[in-house]
Amino acid sequence: MPKRFFCTYFDSNYYTYAIALSKSLEQNVEDYVLFIVGMDEMCEKILKKTPLPNSILYSHEALKSFKPVLKLLQIERTTAEYFFTCSAQVCEFILSRNPNIDILNYLDVDLCFFSSPEPIFNELGNASIGIIKHNFHWTAQAKIKYGIYNVGWISFRNDEVGLKCISDWAEDCINWCYQKLENNLYADQKYLDIWPKKYKGLKVIKNKGANLAIWNIKNYKIGYVRKHIYVDETKLIFYHFAGLKQLSKNKFDTKLSSYYSFLSKTILQQIYTPYLKELLNHQSNNMILHNKEMKRSNLLSLIRILILRLRSNIFRDIIEIKKT
């Protein structure tokens, strides 16, 4: 089995997510390296003291030295916008420091693997770029304005096309990367909409088990057979815990109700509960802060909160992990 190369980045707020991601890689990937950019001093300190398995750590300062304009953008952009800006920069930085990588696979830190990702690599084949659609359920089609494709997993082959794509994306995000819709752009994500036409050798990964998330889970029947989670007839490869919000020490909002999805027994017991327990096992007294909510006017924000609370009461998507 070939060695797989992954990269991600996060600050100390998302450290517990990184532990869960790392453990899931350990359980499901035979041979891999996880490149990490620690985005604050506390994160770097923790990871130096207790490194994650098979990981190589780089500091935020090293990333900014590689791309000095980030020092200015860190001041000018919101925390969320700056992090969106850095996705492409991290990929470009890791490949520049590790030119022998064959395929670099970017992962959002809030992913968790439930089976081997080899079916994704088999589908990718010799392609230079691999991306995955959101695959929004029809009730959420309005969300497609934020991007056809999701940034959660992106594969870049270390060839002319893959490197050109990373370079272009990095430059695009330096020039414009804001948490708003403007000129058919949104954050780092909507740039991907034009990639299939812009780059030859791009593969859209269609495996149903890749990037299951709140925005598409309603499309499928989620089952549990012989200790494996299935998305229709396909094994779940990884789940994207986007939108997850910690409400109190042991209570979490899954945000499933925002996409009119119920928290079924399988989703609760086999996907969310093990993951949340893993987060809590490694969490200090500080709760995980959610920094990626969009800015809205006070009135719109109030209306949205009331609607989401109503949906949450109907769909019952809040989970409380009981102390054992």
Per residue in 205-234, pLDDT (tens digit) is 999 999 999 999 999 999 999 999 999 999
Nearest to 82 by CA among 99, 65, 70, 69: 70
Contacts of 75 (CB under 8 A, 6+ apart): none
Beta bridge partners of 249: none
The predicted pLDDT at position 266 comes to: 97
Give the distance from CA 182 to its chain's centroid: 23
Q: How many CB atoms lie within 10 A of CB 160?
A: 10
The predicted pLDDT at position 216 comes to: 98
d(CA 39, CA 80) in angstroms, rounded, equals 13
Q: Please report which confidence band the pLDDT of residue 17 belongs to, taking 50, 70 and 90 as the band edges.
A: very high
**Cα-Cα-Cα-Cα dihedral of 33, 38, 43, 46, to 10°?**
40
d(CA 253, CA 246) in angstroms, rounded, equals 6
Q: Domain residue spans in the chain?
A: 4-320
Report helix, strand or coil for 270: helix
Give the tens place of pLDDT for each residue, 268-320.
Answer: 999 999 999 999 999 876 777 766 555 555 777 777 667 766 677 677 799 99
Contact 222, 261 (CB under 8 A): no
Residue 201 has pLDDT above 70, yes or no: yes
- For the domain covering 4-320, report its CATH number: 3.90.550.10
